[in-house]
Structure 1
Amino acid sequence: METKDPEYVYKNVIQLNETDASRKFIANVFLWMFVALGLSAFCAFLFSQNQALYNMLRDPITGGNTGLGTIVMFAPLAFVLIISFGFNRLSYGVAALLFIAFSAVMGISLSYILKIYTEGSVLGVFLTTSAVFGIMAVAGYTTKTDLTKFGSIMMMGLFGIIIASVINMFMRSSQLEYIISYIGIAVFVGLTAYDVQKLKRIGAGIEYGDGSAGKMALLGGLTLYLDFINLFLMILRLFGRRR
């Protein structure tokens, strides 16, 4: 039978209420997101400004993708699938390295947009995206309304966008692209609020400081990072100024 000394001092145990745990968890989530965005921005700028590096992605003679360029275009999806589906099997260290590598490769793939759109346009859209994302993140964190059903609708919209985008790869319809972009903005604005609320609840239900909490914060950072990037790209399609 287990016995406990009532005078025993638990020196290494940190007791947190749900609110404190949720705040610390959310802080870690956003830290991972900001690290990923910073790394992606650095890699995008580096490859777009260094012609030698950019030529590794696009053949200057043919104007098409090189082998490395093709890999870089599809590698982010592979990273997301590995992190998402292998989440339970990956250690925290391996998951963190994969997330950092994903952020860098994603940034390299985004270097194309700095060649297509003006720098001022990209900066303006980035600031707009940051403002919209921040407002919806605060709304999702503070609202008392359960967004679960709303999130399900947004996920259905996301699948619809994916299907429509694949179809438009063959149709090449500019009108359909505009429709997808408008719907995409609405979907990712909604998903931002839903995902933040979901992460807030996750944070309130886990013990802060253990390995699972660290991995969940990393996965949460990946989720919000993808919401931000996709929202940024949708807005850029509509309001970005091409060179």
Structure 2
Amino acid sequence: MENRNYDYDRVIQLDDERSASRRFIANVFSWMFLALGISAFFAYIFSHDASLLQLLVSPTGLTAFGKIVMFAPLAFVLVMSFGMNRISFPVLSLLFIVFAAVMGISLSFILLAFTASSVLGVFITTSAVFGIMAVAGYTTSQDLTKFGSLMMMGLIGIIIASVVNMWLASPGISQAITYIGVAVFVGLTAYKVQMLKRIGAGLEYGDASAKKLAVMGGMSLYLTFINLFLSLLRIFGGRRN
């Protein structure tokens, strides 16, 4: 009888964990989709409005505002990541929304370089690949921790190689970085979703820290999606003449 009670309690506990994990993941993806929508909106209006575009580009190159827009997303990521425990949830949410808007403005340069049809096609492809890997990461019983560590090492390698290639300007290295980047961001998608699933299972949904982690999780998946999209666009995107 005692063993039956214990097993019953375990079933209830596991069901609660699964339910909490599903709600947390749904919240994470809600933030991610919100960011993608905001970024798409700002990227579109800045790439199609000449007066707004002039705020970013002048006849001599990038304006001061254009340079700020290019580097501001990194500042937002650092502030949100290192200040998460000190920043209130409403402020963190506002920072996330502004971050997505600034990212969208910076992505408007992409829409100017590539044809609209190729951007749409690559976006659909990215969505399909991302969705498949997200489902794989959520449903697999295989522990992806070691795999994720390998992908993170690959990401660090890509960053270092990209910085070095800024001086070398080697097309071969640039192409290799792009192809490796696709593999790394595809792998990171599955790893991050599994990691977020486990985080959600250990949280009491509705707690302030859980809400903050959902925002940060949304930002993490958003950045993975955007980087996968940009890598695929470099390979399959059709440039304007």
Q: TM-score, normalised by structure 1?
A: 0.92
User: What amino acid sits opposite 1:235 in the alignment?
Assistant: L
- 2:208 counterpart of 1:211: yes
Mapped partners of 1:44, 1:177: distance in 2: 25
Mapped partners of 1:236, 1:168: distance in 2: 19
- 2:94 counterpart of 1:93: no
Mapped partners of 2:177, 2:96: distance in 1: 28
Mapped partners of 2:228, 2:81: distance in 1: 20
Report the equivalent of 1:46.
45
Matches within 5 A, 1:2-151: 17-59=16-58, 61-62=59-60, 64-151=61-148
Q: How many pairs were matched up?
A: 226
SS at match of 1:230: helix
- 2:191 counterpart of 1:194: yes
Report the equivalent of 1:226.
223
What percent of counterpart residues are identical? Answer: 68
Deviation digits for residues 154-210 of structure 1 (CA, Å, limit 9, x no counterpart): 000000000001011111111111100000000000000000000000000000111
The 4+ residue runs of structure 1 with deviation greater than 2 A are none
Report the equivalent of 1:180.
177
User: What amino acid sits opposite 1:112 in the alignment?
Assistant: F
Mapped partners of 1:22, 1:235: distance in 2: 31
The answer for unaligned runs of 5 or more in structure 1 is 1-15
Mapped partners of 2:201, 2:212: distance in 1: 15
Mapped partners of 2:158, 2:84: distance in 1: 26
Deviation digits for residues 78-126 of structure 1 (CA, Å, limit 9, x no counterpart): 0000000111111101100000000000000000011100000000000
User: What amino acid sits opposite 1:102 in the alignment?
Assistant: F
Mapped partners of 1:120, 1:233: distance in 2: 15
SS at match of 2:53: helix
Q: TM-score, normalised by structure 2?
A: 0.93
Mapped partners of 1:123, 1:149: distance in 2: 34
